[in-house]
Structure 1
Amino acid sequence: MRFPSLPFLCAAVCIQLALWQAVRAADQPGASFVGSQACAECHDTELDAWRGSYHDLAMAEATDETVLGDFNDTPFTAQGVTSRFFKRDGTFMVRTEGPDGELHDYPVAYTFGWWPLQQYLIPFPGGRYQSLGIAWDSRAEADGGQRWFHLYPDASIDHDDVLHWTGRDQNWNYQCAECHSTNLKKGYDLASDSFNTTWSEIDVACEACHGPGARHVEQARTAGEGREPLWNVTKGLAVDLADRDGGHWVIDPQTQLPRRSVPRKARAQINLCARCHSRRGQISDQYVDGQPLGDSHRLALLEEGLYFPDGQIQGEVYVYGSFLQSRMYAQGVTCSDCHDPHSLKLKADGDQVCAQCHPTSRYDAESHHHHAEGSAGASCIACHMPQRNYMVIDARADHSLRIPRPDLTLETGSPNACNACHVDQPTEWAVKAYEDWYGTAATARPHYGEALHAGRARLPQADHKLLALAGDEAQPGIARATAVDLLRQFADPAQMLTVGRLLGDPDSLVRAAALRYLATTNPQTLMQLGLPLLKDPILSVRLEAARTLAPLAAMPIPDGEKARLEAALDVYRTSQLVNAERPESHLNIGLVDVAANRPEAAEQAYRTAIRLDASFAPGYVNLADLYRALGRDAEGQAVLAQGLKAAPDDASLHYALGLLHIRDKDLAKAVAALGRAAELEPGNARYPYVYALAVEGAGAVEQAIAILERALQAHPEDRDILVALVTFNQKAGNQDAAGDYAARLKALD
């Protein structure tokens, strides 16, 4: 046997050691971005599929190749403003209304999106880019496209409106940038209120999903002649998106339904997609690829205005929140089961994507859908994924993949797929047809939407329904968490047994909601049950724990617990400064500082919020309330006057001023201010109620009764209004009316 010489052996060992050190280094954080062209060296097929996808076209420099809109000196009139799109010296330009209400010429720096519409980004001072409120309809002319249109066609928006394209709510750096570019760094500076936003690639490229690729490339290049690369388990990638459990989809021989051969445990892929395809707020800029969404973002629950009571999409919620409600998600379906992750196209055309798992012999049959073959009613997507338009023309499918329930329309007011097509038929007709086909067992099946609707409308027995839903682990976590949030308005010590158990729930959304509920309890319960959650594995839960526990920081608790809480509050403040450009973030900091008895810090936070946005009413209201608590009402009145000068039609400012005048015992001024608040925001039951109390206090009991009667028409189940009507009618000698209102109050109970 011949052995290599010692120098050669040492060199070989050293090389091998160096290579393995490189492989081990790939397991450590801090890998750098290399760009999609580096990926193309080995993955040209995937890159070819990605080119031209909506991810590839998410954002681009404005050039003749990327701009789809008509800039041929084209006028467009909307919101009372005639804008003009043109080119000047090769630069795409728009002449439109600026932040001062006057017309100005603006250059277009970037395109944003591709189909069915394209938006345009305009550079502003301070590193800002603003999204123009006029977009280009890129659909075919035959489909109504190839035209300019306004994104808020039914609103009246002037240059002072929060929705005006030049305002903070249309700012690209905050609202859009994170999800349209790769390795985006917002680069906001609070002192100068300016941005220095950067990215590795302008669009959603390979590393936006796979994470920084330097170590993957490094490992790939360890291959020599006749040698395989020295891969580690994840091949040097920052996130492991592979299914390593060997699972695949099969048809259960007993139920004839699809199921996964092994239960899915890894959720890295869907957590990755959810980062952008969800309605959420960012809570950390230290994103770790593939980790739970709650470690970087706070997901919106099934809130009113975002979702209908039964969980169907209403506002623009970007898929993930609806998908969490689905049986598909519960059974382990993930995004790439239906969508190609590189081209983003469906893996099969139309309903054929469903046929991958649902046999056509059973589901594409009239016995299942009860519609003529080839009709709209025979479509899986039409029935189980009804669409709604956002941004005027962008149809988005509901990913809760629910069975249509027209009976829930009657009970909760939620829409249903049957009447979405049969618009000329009453809902009762749809319910009868449904029960004729599928029997009454389908409509008799309980649905979490019933409990959520009861909670929203404060219906009788709502608390019992919400508590039952919250504790039912068979229901979607997002629905259960929403139930806990709604339950807070019916807080009762008898509920604590269930709420305490929910603090240890497997779903982080439920744990966070249970923490919020603890704010309704006493300090001892708060400390006993809440403090352990400061160590929760999910950041969003830890932040919720810190915010809820903040009042304990002003109380005598053990030094060790106080130190833990103070550290958690510092993390909370840091999380809010991820969006330091937003006045809401500083308001939130001020609120926890008030709770923790740090009035000077709270005052500074509120004043920062006002500095960032002079029309931000909550900043003034909370600062004035802080001054009230400190015995400085005169300063509070000056703050409210300043706020009303900036936002004269904000009801909350008039309401706060009215309460201040009540404290000053100036009922005439209080009545005027509270009346204005009730006039500006009639949908808020509290405003007319307190207005009526002030009017009655001024001696006009009949006028107060009239105010309450009008308020009751809009809020027929408001207990405070009913109690006041009983009391005031008794005082006025209207005993019959008082009895009627007392009976209505008793019926509610």
Structure 2
Amino acid sequence: MRRRTHYLIALALVLAVVATFSYLWRTPAPTPVALAPHSYGKAMRLAHQGQPGAARLLYQQLQRNDLSPERRAALYQELPNYPSSIALKLAKQDLAAAQPQVRRAAIAGIQRLLPAAQRSMALGPLLEDQDLSVRHAAVDALLGLSPDAIGLYFSPLRDALEQYQQTLEAQTDDADAQLHLARLYLHENDYPDASRALQRSLALRPHSSEALATQVRLLERQGQHDASREVLAKALSEQPDSAFLQHELGLWLQRHAQTEYALLAFSRAVELQPDNADYRYTLATGLHQLEQVDAAQTQLQTLLDQHPNDRRARLLLIDYWKETGQLQNVQVLLAELERQNPDDPALQQGL
């Protein structure tokens, strides 16, 4: 009886030891790594507002693998204002994303992140992407580069461009497709085909400001300057409060060495659409061209007050402040830029 009791006690001890070791050696369940539910919205808000830490939060979002294609693609609307080697690396990774929407967004982002001379090496392979819309996006991003800049991808670009044009040619009932086709032909100096595509677009949408602006440029390229002016004047008489057409008038006057008159049109465009960063930026550069530096600085400062994330305007205003020796203002803008994105190449280069 005593021996049996000893066996039972020994067995109990063995089971206890096994249980203890099993508990100690068990592999804990991995804690899921997840960002706060509001982190995406916060990242987009801070990036759009040019707030401190904006770049870091954007980069974090691009490292997630649980975002919808729509949300991931939207990140590329903000990313080009926060360039760095990290931003470029993340964007290049998305060139291989499973969703065509994300690949197209990454192409658009890289187009703004990289200078022309480096763009073809990153985007050239996408000219043979399995998705037609991605191939077309790559064409749009590379079109207009010099043969030297395109390099090895010259032939693939020509092939993809021809396919793109054939696809758009078939969409004869789509005004936007025909307008884009006209612009592709215009890039190639193929004026007859550009004119035919443009007429199809205008037949579908006669008062399209963008189509009329393209017609103006097409006529100019063919040396028909009086005709181009008449088209623009007629469009403005029908749409005098169109900020877009006022801006196009300013560009036309600028191309014809009438910068002083161009400023009136640029000013009117800004008056009609005061929140448009592109219009105000153009007005600032026009003022600077006429040596109205103070006025140019004021326009750029207003632009930054409205759009603190506009890196292009910030860097230009830094240059303008340097010209006038106002280094304190330069330091303020640089400090803001460093808080937004400490890895900005402009800071690394000692701007």
Q: TM above 0.5, one fold?
A: yes
Q: Is the 8 A contact 1:621 1:653 kept in 2?
A: yes
For residue 198 of structure 2, what is the aligned residue in structure 1?
A: 606
How far off its partner does 1:540 sit? 2.9
For residue 99 of structure 2, what is the aligned residue in structure 1?
A: 507
Matches of 1:720 and 1:537, distance apart in 2: 34
For residue 487 of structure 1, what is the aligned residue in structure 2?
A: 79
Using a 3 Å threshold, how does the CA distance of structure 1 residues 518 and 625 change in structure 2: closer, same or farther?
farther
For residue 336 of structure 2, what is the aligned residue in structure 1?
A: 747
Using a 3 Å threshold, how does the CA distance of structure 1 residues 731 and 590 change in structure 2: closer, same or farther?
same
Using a 3 Å threshold, how does the CA distance of structure 1 residues 739 and 534 change in structure 2: closer, same or farther?
closer
For residue 343 of structure 2, what is the aligned residue in structure 1?
A: none
Q: Answer yes or no: is 1:591 the counterpart of 2:180.
A: no
Using a 3 Å threshold, how does the CA distance of structure 1 residues 703 and 637 change in structure 2: closer, same or farther?
same
For residue 90 of structure 2, what is the aligned residue in structure 1?
A: 498
How far off its partner does 1:639 sit? 3.4
More helix per residue:
2
For residue 248 of structure 2, what is the aligned residue in structure 1?
A: 656
Partner of 2:241, secondary structure, is coil
Using a 3 Å threshold, how does the CA distance of structure 1 residues 523 and 698 change in structure 2: closer, same or farther?
closer
Which residue among 146, 160, 182 is the counterpart of 1:568? Answer: 160
Using a 3 Å threshold, how does the CA distance of structure 1 residues 567 and 681 change in structure 2: closer, same or farther?
same
Using a 3 Å threshold, how does the CA distance of structure 1 residues 476 and 634 change in structure 2: closer, same or farther?
same
Tell me which moved more, 500-509 or 535-544.
535-544
How far off its partner does 1:522 sit? 5.6
How far off its partner does 1:589 sit? 1.6
Matches of 1:565 and 1:720, distance apart in 2: 29
Give runs of aligned pairs for residues 164-313 of structure 1, distance below 5 A. none
Q: Answer yes or no: is 1:547 the counterpart of 2:140.
A: yes
How far off its partner does 1:678 sit? 0.6
Give runs of aligned pairs for residues 693-708 of structure 1, distance below 5 A. 693-695=285-287, 697-698=289-290, 703-704=295-296, 707-708=299-300
Structure 1: state its 5+ residue gaps. Answer: 1-254, 256-440
Using a 3 Å threshold, how does the CA distance of structure 1 residues 497 and 630 change in structure 2: closer, same or farther?
farther
Q: Which AA in structure 1 matches 2:133?
A: S
Q: Is the 8 A contact 2:287 2:295 kept in 1?
A: yes
Residue correspondences, number: 305
For residue 109 of structure 1, what is the aligned residue in structure 2?
A: none
For residue 669 of structure 1, what is the aligned residue in structure 2?
A: 261
Partner of 1:474, secondary structure, is coil
Partner of 1:682, secondary structure, is coil
Deviations 1:230-279 (A, max 9, x none): xxxxxxxxxxxxxxxxxxxxxxxxx9xxxxxxxxxxxxxxxxxxxxxxxx
How far off its partner does 1:502 sit? 2.0
Q: Answer yes or no: is 1:678 the counterpart of 2:267.
A: no
How far off its partner does 1:650 sit? 1.5
Q: Is the 8 A contact 1:472 1:480 kept in 2?
A: no
Q: Which AA in structure 2 matches 1:540?
A: S
Deviations 1:577-605 (A, max 9, x none): 56533432222223333445545433443
Matches of 2:117 and 2:302, distance apart in 1: 42
Q: Is the 8 A contact 1:624 1:637 kept in 2?
A: yes
Q: Which AA in structure 1 matches 2:233?
A: A
Q: Which AA in structure 1 matches 2:58?
A: L
Give runs of aligned pairs for residues 86-105 of structure 1, distance below 5 A. none
Partner of 1:547, secondary structure, is helix
Matches of 1:527 and 1:731, distance apart in 2: 35
Q: Is the 8 A contact 1:583 1:612 kept in 2?
A: yes
Q: Is the 8 A contact 2:322 2:330 kept in 1?
A: no
Using a 3 Å threshold, how does the CA distance of structure 1 residues 546 and 719 change in structure 2: closer, same or farther?
closer
Using a 3 Å threshold, how does the CA distance of structure 1 residues 671 and 572 change in structure 2: closer, same or farther?
same
Q: Which AA in structure 2 matches 1:739?
A: Q
Using a 3 Å threshold, how does the CA distance of structure 1 residues 455 and 607 change in structure 2: closer, same or farther?
farther
Partner of 1:456, secondary structure, is helix
Which residue among 456, 464, 480 is the counterpart of 2:48? Answer: 456
For residue 516 of structure 1, what is the aligned residue in structure 2?
A: 108
How far off its partner does 1:539 sit? 3.4
Using a 3 Å threshold, how does the CA distance of structure 1 residues 587 and 490 change in structure 2: closer, same or farther?
farther
How far off its partner does 1:684 sit? 0.5
Q: Is the 8 A contact 2:48 2:309 kept in 1?
A: no
How far off its partner does 1:526 sit? 4.6
Q: Is the 8 A contact 1:505 1:511 kept in 2?
A: yes
Deviations 1:325-348 (A, max 9, x none): xxxxxxxxxxxxxxxxxxxxxxxx
TM-score, normalised to structure 2's length?
0.67
Matches of 2:323 and 2:146, distance apart in 1: 45
Partner of 2:266, secondary structure, is helix
Q: Is the 8 A contact 1:547 1:572 kept in 2?
A: no
How far off its partner does 1:615 sit? 1.9
Q: Which AA in structure 2 matches 1:543?
A: H
Matches of 2:198 and 2:226, distance apart in 1: 17
Partner of 1:581, secondary structure, is coil
Q: Which AA in structure 1 matches 2:332?
A: A
Matches of 1:711 and 1:499, distance apart in 2: 27
Deviations 1:292-316 (A, max 9, x none): xxxxxxxxxxxxxxxxxxxxxxxxx
Q: Is the 8 A contact 2:50 2:307 kept in 1?
A: no
Deviations 1:57-106 (A, max 9, x none): xxxxxxxxxxxxxxxxxxxxxxxxxxxxxxxxxxxxxxxxxxxxxxxxxx
Q: Answer yes or no: is 1:536 the counterpart of 2:136.
A: no
Partner of 1:503, secondary structure, is helix
How far off its partner does 1:682 sit? 0.7
Which residue among 611, 615, 621 is the counterpart of 2:207? Answer: 615
Using a 3 Å threshold, how does the CA distance of structure 1 residues 604 and 470 change in structure 2: closer, same or farther?
farther
Partner of 2:61, secondary structure, is helix
Q: Is the 8 A contact 2:171 2:178 kept in 1?
A: no
Deviations 1:505-564 (A, max 9, x none): 2233222222333434466755444444344343333333343344479678669x72x5
TM-score, normalised to structure 1's length?
0.35
For residue 477 of structure 1, what is the aligned residue in structure 2?
A: 69
Q: Which AA in structure 2 matches 1:573?
A: Q
Matches of 1:741 and 1:716, distance apart in 2: 15
Give runs of aligned pairs for residues 9-24 of structure 1, distance below 5 A. none
Q: Is the 8 A contact 1:554 1:596 kept in 2?
A: no
For residue 215 of structure 1, what is the aligned residue in structure 2?
A: none
Matches of 1:629 and 1:461, distance apart in 2: 46
How far off its partner does 1:681 sit? 0.9
Tell me which moved more, 704-713 or 481-490.
704-713
Matches of 2:88 and 2:322, distance apart in 1: 38
Q: Is the 8 A contact 2:236 2:242 kept in 1?
A: yes
Matches of 1:607 and 1:442, distance apart in 2: 53
Deviations 1:35-65 (A, max 9, x none): xxxxxxxxxxxxxxxxxxxxxxxxxxxxxxx
CA RMSD of aligned residues (A): 4.1
Partner of 1:621, secondary structure, is helix
Q: Which AA in structure 1 matches 2:335?
A: K
Using a 3 Å threshold, how does the CA distance of structure 1 residues 704 and 569 change in structure 2: closer, same or farther?
closer
Q: Which AA in structure 2 matches 1:511?
A: R
For residue 122 of structure 1, what is the aligned residue in structure 2?
A: none
Q: Which AA in structure 1 matches 2:141?
A: T
Matches of 1:545 and 1:671, distance apart in 2: 35
How far off its partner does 1:674 sit? 1.0
